[in-house]
Amino acid sequence: MIKVAIIGAGYIGGVNANACDKTEDAKVVAVVDKDFQKAKLLAQKINAEPYNSLEEILIKKEIDVVGICTPTFLHADMVEKCAKASKHIFCEKPVALSIEEVNRMIQAIKKYKVKSMVGHVLRFWPEYETAKRIIKDNFLGCPKNMYCERLGVIPEWAEGEWNKDKNLGGGAALDLQIHDLDYMISVFGDPLSVASQGIYDENLGGWAHMSTIVKFAGGQYGCVNAGWAVKGKFPFTMLLRIICEKGTIEWVSRASANISETLDGKVQKNEVIVYKDNGEIIKETSEEIDPFFSQWKYFIHCINNDKEVENSTFEDGKRSLELALASMDSSEQNKIVYINKN
C-alpha cells in the first residue's frame, strides 16, 4: 500500500485527498497545513494524521508520496525538498510561476530519481478524454481548430486571497487558462506562436481574462477564452469545440457560479456531440468518473509498477506554463510571441 501525504488542506487539497484515498493501492495517511485546525479537520474525514509542517513529513520513511496542493508560489521549494527526501511527487497545476522555478524542480526530480506528475486534470476529464478518443479513431479526419472556454467568478476559497495577488498566483492567465492550453498541447503537440489580448485587473490577480490564439507546428490553431472577470452569479462554464475535416466535436458544461459545486455534481450532464459532415449527429456518453481519482490512479499505478510517468509530466507542465507566460507577454506587449523550442 502506497502511503501518501497531502500538503495543503484547502479546497483543492481536500479534492485530491478524497480522490487519492479512493484508489485501491494508496492511502492518505497524513495531511499537512500551517493552520493545524484545517489539517486536523481534513485528516479526520479520511482517517489520517494531521501535521503542521512539511519537514515533519519528510523525515518519515514510511511516506512514499507527497501531494503538493498549496498555493502556486510555494510549489518550487516544496518539490525540491520532497525530491531530496526521496519522496515521489504529485504537484497541482500550474506547476510554478516561472520557467526558472520549473527547471529547478525538474533538475531535483532527475537528481534524486523520484517519480513525479503535475495535476493537469483535463487530461483525465471524461469528456475531454472522449473528444481525444474520437480524434484518434480518425473517422472525422484531421483536427484543424480547437476552441475552449473556461469562465467563472474568482474562487473565494484561497486562504488570504493569494489568488488575487499576481505575484503569488499569476492571475487567471496562469491559474485558469492553463487548463485549456495544456489540453491543446496534449492534442496538437508543440505550439509555435501565441497572440493574446486580455482584461487586466489588479484586484483579480492581474490578467483576469484572456482571449488567446495559438498556432501549432502541425498547422492547427486553437482559441481559448478563459478567466474570472465575469460578474455576479455567472455560471461556471466549460466549452470544448474541435473542428475536423469531416465533422465537429462539441461539449458544453454550465454549473453553479462556483467550480466547487461543479465537482460536487451540481452541473448539467451534457453528452459529447459529434456533428458529421453527412448530417449525422452522434451523442457520446462519457464514463461518469472523478477525473481527480483517475489521475491519482494513474500515478499510483506508475509507482507501484515502476513505470515511467508519461502523461502530465513536469516537462508537460513546463510546456504549458511556457505557453501561458507567452500569452501574458503577448497581451502586455500587444504582439505575437514565438515559442522557444529549446
Bridge pairing between strands 88-92 and 116-119 = parallel
For residues 133 and 258, membership in a common domain is answered with yes
pLDDT at position 268, please? 53
Q: What is the per-residue pLDDT across 113-126, written as a single tens digit (0 to 9) for each?
A: 999 999 999 999 99
Examine residue 304 and state whether it is found in any structural domain, yes or no: no
Task: Give the integer Cα–Cα distance in Å for 201 and 115.
Answer: 38
pLDDT tier at 276, thresholds 50, 70, 90: very high
pLDDT at 269 over 90: no
For residues 108 and 221, membership in a common domain is answered with no
Strand partners, 149: 225, 239
Contacts 24+ apart (CB under 8 A), 44-51: 45/14, 45/17, 45/18, 46/17, 46/18, 46/21, 48/6, 48/17, 51/5
Q: What is the per-residue pLDDT across 96-144, written as a single tens digit (0 to 9) for each?
A: 999 999 999 999 999 999 999 999 999 999 999 999 999 999 999 999 9
pLDDT tier at 256, thresholds 50, 70, 90: low
For residues 225 and 86, membership in a common domain is answered with no
For residues 329 and 238, membership in a common domain is answered with yes
Examine residue 300 and state whether it is found in any structural domain, yes or no: no
For residues 40 and 135, membership in a common domain is answered with no
- Dihedral of alpha carbons 289, 291, 293, 295, sign: positive
Examine residue 189 and state whether it is found in any structural domain, yes or no: yes
CB contact set of 303 (below 8 Å; sequence gap of 6+): 2, 64, 65, 88, 115
Q: What is the per-residue pLDDT across 53-84, written as a single tens digit (0 to 9) for each?
A: 999 999 999 999 999 999 999 999 999 999 99
- Find the mean pLDDT for residues 257-284: 75
For residues 243 and 264, membership in a common domain is answered with yes
pLDDT at position 155, please? 80
For residues 100 and 144, membership in a common domain is answered with no
Last residue of one domain, picked from the residues 72, 95, 114: 114
pLDDT tier at 219, thresholds 50, 70, 90: very high
Do the beta carbons of residue 4 and residue 66 sit within 8 Å? yes
pLDDT at 302 over 90: yes
pLDDT at position 19, please? 98
pLDDT at 319 over 80: yes
Last residue of one domain, picked from the residues 58, 85, 114: 114
pLDDT at 156 over 80: no
For residues 101 and 130, membership in a common domain is answered with no
Examine residue 139 and state whether it is found in any structural domain, yes or no: yes
Last residue of one domain, picked from the residues 45, 80, 114: 114
Please report, for the domain that includes residue 32, its CATH number: 3.40.50.720
Task: Give the integer Cα–Cα distance in Å for 96 and 140.
Answer: 36
Examine residue 33 and state whether it is found in any structural domain, yes or no: yes
Examine residue 179 and state whether it is found in any structural domain, yes or no: yes
For residues 72 and 137, membership in a common domain is answered with no
Do the beta carbons of residue 2 and residue 65 sit within 8 Å? yes
Say which range, 48-62, 188-202, 230-244, 260-274, has the weakest mean pLDDT: 260-274
CB contact set of 264 (below 8 Å; sequence gap of 6+): none
Please report, for the domain that includes residue 236, its CATH number: 3.30.360.10
For residues 128 and 109, membership in a common domain is answered with no
pLDDT tier at 341, thresholds 50, 70, 90: low
HEC string of the chain equals CEEEEEECCCHHHHHHHHHHHCCCCEEEEEEECCCHHHHHHHHHHCCCEEECCHHHHHCCCCCCEEEECCCHHHHHHHHHHHHHCCCEEEEECCCCCCHHHHHHHHHHHHHHCCCEEEECHHHHCHHHHHHHHHHHHCCCCCEEEEEEEEECCCCCCCHHHHHHCHHHHCHHHHHCHHHHHHHHHHHHCCEEEEEEEEEEEHHHCEEEEEEEEEEECCCCEEEEEEECCCCCCCCCEEEEEEEECCEEEEEEEEECCCHHHHHCCCECCCCEEEEECCCCEEEECCCCCCHHHHHHHHHHHHHHCCCCCCCCCHHHHHHHHHHHHHHHHHHHHCCCEECCCC
- The number of folded domains in the chain is 2
The parent domain of residue 194 ranges over 122-287+323-337
pLDDT at position 162, please? 79
pLDDT at position 342, please? 54
pLDDT > 90 in the chain, percent? 88
pLDDT at 168 over 90: no
Examine residue 279 and state whether it is found in any structural domain, yes or no: yes
Examine residue 162 and state whether it is found in any structural domain, yes or no: yes
